[in-house]
A and B are shown apart, each in its own frame.
Chain A
C-alpha cells in the first residue's frame, strides 16, 4: 500500500521513510512544504530547496509546495495524491510536538487519509543514537538554543557529537532530538539512499543566539557498489 511522507530533509523525516519501507509500505511520494517565512511555527526547514536532491537520492517522486496558506496547500496536495496516486496515508516524522501533530492529523482526517507518526513519543535520545548506529550521515543545518553556538553548524552527527549534545542537554535542557527547534538537520546519506549527497559549497549565518548552515551547491552521486 502506498503512503506519502511529509518530508523536510531532516533526520526525522528521512528516518520515517526508512522505517516505513522496512515495515513494507510503499513510500510513493515525498511532500515538502516551503515555509512562508523563517519563523514559521509549523515548517522550519533550512535548505528546503535541496530536498529534491534527497528525493532523487532515495529515488522517490517529490512535490514541493510553495507559498500561500501552508496548511491549506497541504490539504489540497493530499487530496490530489489520494485521488491520483491512490495513497492511503500520510506519515510525518513528528516526535513530541503536539502543536504540529494535532494540525497534521486534522488535515489528513479532512481528506480521508490515515496519518502515521512512527517516531511519535519515542525516546528522543534513542532515536538519535539509532540513526548514528544505522549509519545515517546527517549534518547540523541550524541551531537555536543556549549551549549550541556557531561551531555546531555544518558538523556531522557522530558518536562523539552525540556525547557532547547529551552533556549540554543536561545543563541547558535541550530537547535531545531538537524537537523544540533547538537544532535542524539535513541528511546526506542513509542506508536507503541510492545516491549520496556531496555538499560542494556552503556558508554559515550567525544571528546572535541562533544560526543556520546554508548549502549553496550540492550534487548526488551514485554510491560505490560493494
Chain B
C-alpha cells in the first residue's frame, strides 16, 4: 500500500542524486495524460485514492476541468520504492493544448525523461508526433504508455490478437518517430519495446497497467485483463497491477537521474559555453556551484504570493539567498525554499542541484526566467521569442472603482503566463490583453471573472505585422538640424536566422563569437555577422557595418532607440515590424555632442529606415491558425466547406476508422465566429481545436482595405505612408 512520507524523509532521499528522477507526461490532447497523473498521485499516496480518475488533481483550476485539458504546468513530487531503494520523482505536468506550446518547451527543459501517453483507440496522432519530437529535441528520454486498453475491449470488442496487433503497430509507429527525430547517438538506445521495460499499457481511468517487469514480478497476463472486464471485476485489476508501479518502475529503471542526464543535456538545452565554469557546474550538477535555475512555472498564491518553480541545474539554493533574474535584468532575494509534496508545497529551507524547488518571495519573476547567483549568465530561453501574441482585446471593469483590482489581476495573469501580454494603450487609457488565439483570451477573461470582478471586453482585434519582401537602400537620412547623416539598408531577415533566434541559439545575451559563427554558417558576410547590435522582437535585427565611423559608439544607443521606435510602429499601419534586418552602412556625425542628441539621431534613424522599408515592397502579415478537426466521415464535406468559407485551406485529410481528421489553416481574423459556424454546419458533432500556425502575407486583394481598417481604428488618415512623406 502507498504510504505517506514526511518532508524530512523526502529531503533525506533527494540528498542522493541517484534517487531523484525528473519526469513529465506528454500526450496528444485528450489521450489521458491528466487522468494518468492522478492515478500516479493516488499510487504515491499523496491524494485520496477514491478521487483519482475524476478529480484531475493537476488541473487544479476549474477552468481547465471544464475544458478537460491542462493549461498550467503544475508540479508534484512523488515517492516510489523499487528494489528496496526509495526514489523521489518530480513530476512536471506539461500542457497538451498546443495553443500554449511555449510552455511545453519550458517544461521539457526541466525533465530528463517523459512518459508519452498514446490512446490505443486513436493511436499515434499529430500532437503525439509534435510532443515526442520536442522531447527528443531537448534530449528528454521517452517511454511509451499505451492507454485506454479498456475501450479496445469494451467498445471496439477486439480479440486479444487484434489488440496485440494494434499495440505492435503503435510501438512501431512510435519507434518510427524516434528514428525520425532522435539524434544519432541516442536513437537506437532510446527505442522502446516491451522486453526492455520501456513500454507499458493499461487504463489510466481504471488505474491498472503493466509493463514487462510487473507482469513477471506479479505473474500477470493479458488474459487476466480480459477476464477482469468480462467478469466485471475491474476493481481488482488495480490491486493486481496498479498503474503507478508500472509507470514509476519504468521511470526509475529507464530514465536517468539528474546528474547523469545533465552531462549530455546541458550542451543541448543551454546555449552558453559548456566549457565555462558555469557550464561545467551544470554538467556536473554541482551542489557547490553557483545557483543556476530555469523557472518553468509561476503560480500566484493568495497566501504565499508569487511561487516560482523550476529546475535547479547547479548549486544549493537556500532561504534568504540573493539572486539575479537574468531575463528581466533584476535582482531579488529568495525568502523561502519549498518542495512539492503531491500538489502541495512544504517549506524545506534548502535544496540542492538536480531538484525542482518552489521559491517564495520573488515578486516579479516570470515563467521562463533564469535565476542565477552569478552575472553575466546566458539565460536558458529568450522568453519573448518563443511566441508572439496575435489577438488583442480591451478590458475594463464595469465599475470604475474596480480598476486597481483589475490592474492587480492582469499583473498576476501575465506573471503566470508570459504568453499573455498586458499593456495600457497610452492614448485611450484602455487595458489591453494580447494572447495567442481567441481561446487563450477567453480563458484569461474567464479567470478574471472568476475572481468576482465584473468586466466588459471589446471585440477581439487581430494583430498584424509589417514586413518587406525585398531589400532596399542604402537610403540617406539627415537629422532635423541637418548636421548628421546616416545610410541605411533594409532586407527581409532570412528564415534561417529567425530559426536561430527562436531556438535561442543566437541571442543578445549570448556569446558574440558564437553568434557570428552561426550567422556566417548561413551565409552572412563576416562584417555583418560581427556587427550585430541588437536582436529585437519580433525577429528584427540591426547590424552595424560601418568602418571607422567617428562618434559611432556615442550615438549607438540613440540609433538603437530610433530603430526600436520604428519597429514598434511601422510606417504602413503603425503595427509592429517583423522579420526586418536593418544595416547601417555609413554615418557622418557632428563632432559636438550637443548637435547629435537623441532628438536628432532618433528621428534620423527612423526616417531613413522607413524610407528604405517603403521601398522594399512592404506588406502586412496576418496570423494564421491551424485548425485540427475530428469528425465522423459523413461530415467531411461540411468541415472542408467551413474551412474554405473562412478563407482557409485544407492541409491534410486522414481517415482512421469511421472518423476523419482534417487539418487546415484559417486566418485568425476569420476565426472569431468559427464556433457558431462549425456548430451549425456539423450539428455540433465536430471535435476541433485551433492553434497559432504562422504569419502569412495578407492577400493583395484585401491589403488596401485591411490597412484602411487598421488606420481608421487607430485614428490615422486612411492613406498609408509613402516614402516621400519621410523625405525632407
Contacts and interface: CB of A to CB of B under 8 A. Distances in A.
Interface of A: 38-39, 41, 44, 96-100, 143-148, 172-175, 179-182, 207-210
B603 A100 contact: no
Contact of B481 (A99, A100, A208, A210): A210
B599 A145 contact: yes
B554 to A, nearest CB: 13
A44 B480 CA distance: 13
A209 B611 CA distance: 14
Given A38-B482, A181-B595, A145 B600 contact: yes
Interface stretch (B280-288, B490-498, B517-525, B586-594): B586-594
A144 B483 CA distance: 11
A144 B598 contact: no
Interface in B678-726: 725-726
Interface in B220-241: none
Contacts of A144: 479-482, 600
Given A41-B590, A98-B592, A210 B599 contact: no
B599 A99 contact: no
A212 B727 CA distance: 17
B322 interface: no
Nearest to B603: A146
A173 B558 contact: yes
B727 A208 contact: yes
| Cβ-closest 5 pairs across A and B | A173-B598, A181-B481, A99-B592, A144-B480, A145-B599
| Residue from A38, A44, A181 having most chain B Cβ neighbours under 10 A | A181
B599 A173 contact: yes
B602 interface: yes
Contacts of B482: 38-39, 144, 181, 210
Contacts of A172: 598-599, 602
B728 A209 contact: yes
Contacts of B607: 209
B596 interface: yes
Nearest to A145: B599
Given A180-B481, A209-B607, A210-B481, A97 B728 contact: no
B376 interface: no
A99 B596 CA distance: 12
Given A39-B483, A208-B727, A146 B602 contact: yes
Contacts of B168: none
Contacts of A147: 599
A209 B603 contact: yes
Contact of B726 (A41, A100, A208, A210): A208
Contact of B600 (A39, A97, A100, A180): A180
Contact of B599 (A39, A41, A100, A174): A174
B122 to A, nearest CB: 57
B408 to A, nearest CB: 28
B728 A174 contact: no
| Residue from A179, A180, A182, A210 having most chain B Cβ neighbours under 10 A | A180
Contacts of A209: 480, 603, 607, 728
B597 A182 contact: yes
B599 A182 contact: yes
Contacts of A208: 725-728
Contacts of B727: 208
A99 B599 CA distance: 18
Interface residues of B, number: 24
A97 B599 contact: no
29 contacts: A41-B483, A41-B595, A96-B594, A97-B595, A98-B594, A99-B591, A99-B595, A144-B481, A144-B482, A144-B600, A145-B480, A145-B600, A146-B599, A146-B603, A148-B599, A172-B602, A173-B597, A173-B599, A173-B602, A175-B594, A180-B595, A180-B596, A181-B480, A182-B480, A182-B600, A208-B726, A209-B480, A209-B603, A209-B607
A6 B727 CA distance: 34
| Chain A contact residues: helix, strand, loop or mixed | loop
| Residue from B481, B727, B728 having most chain A Cβ neighbours under 10 A | B481
Contacts of B593: 98
A208 B597 CA distance: 19
Contacts of B602: 146, 172-173
A68 to B, nearest CB: 21
B594 to A, nearest CB: 5
Contacts of B592: 97-100
Interface string B320-343: 000000000000000000000000
A209 B590 CA distance: 18
Contacts of B483: 39, 41, 181
Given A145-B603, A173-B558, A210 B480 contact: yes
Contacts of B728: 207-210
Given A99-B590, A99-B592, A207-B728, A180 B603 contact: no
A17 B23 CA distance: 80
A42 B172 CA distance: 80
Contact of B597 (A39, A41, A99, A174): A174
A149 to B, nearest CB: 11
Nearest to A181: B481
Contacts of A207: 728
Given A99-B592, A145-B603, A208-B727, A175 B480 contact: no
Contacts of B598: 146, 172-174
Contacts of B595: 41, 97, 99, 180-181
A11 to B, nearest CB: 16
Contacts of A179: 594
Contacts of A174: 597-599
B467 to A, nearest CB: 25
B726 to A, nearest CB: 7
A97 B483 CA distance: 13
Contacts of B591: 99
A96 B596 CA distance: 12
Nearest to A172: B599
Contacts of A38: 482
B723 to A, nearest CB: 12
| Residue from B591, B598, B726 having most chain A Cβ neighbours under 10 A | B598
Nearest to A169: B599
A185 to B, nearest CB: 15
A98 to B, nearest CB: 6
Nearest to A174: B599
Nearest to A182: B599
Contacts of A210: 480-482, 728
A99 B481 CA distance: 15
A90 to B, nearest CB: 20
Contacts of B596: 180
A91 to B, nearest CB: 19
Nearest to B562: A146
A183 B221 CA distance: 90
Contacts of B597: 173-175, 180, 182
Nearest to A39: B482
Contacts of A96: 594
Given A175-B597, A208-B726, 14 more contacts: A39-B483, A96-B594, A97-B592, A145-B599, A146-B480, A173-B597, A180-B481, A180-B597, A180-B600, A181-B480, A182-B481, A182-B599, A210-B480, A210-B481
Nearest to B483: A41
B364 to A, nearest CB: 25
A158 to B, nearest CB: 21
Contacts of B725: 208
Contacts of A146: 480, 598-599, 602-603
A145 B595 CA distance: 11
A177 to B, nearest CB: 10
A39 B600 CA distance: 14
A145 B592 CA distance: 16
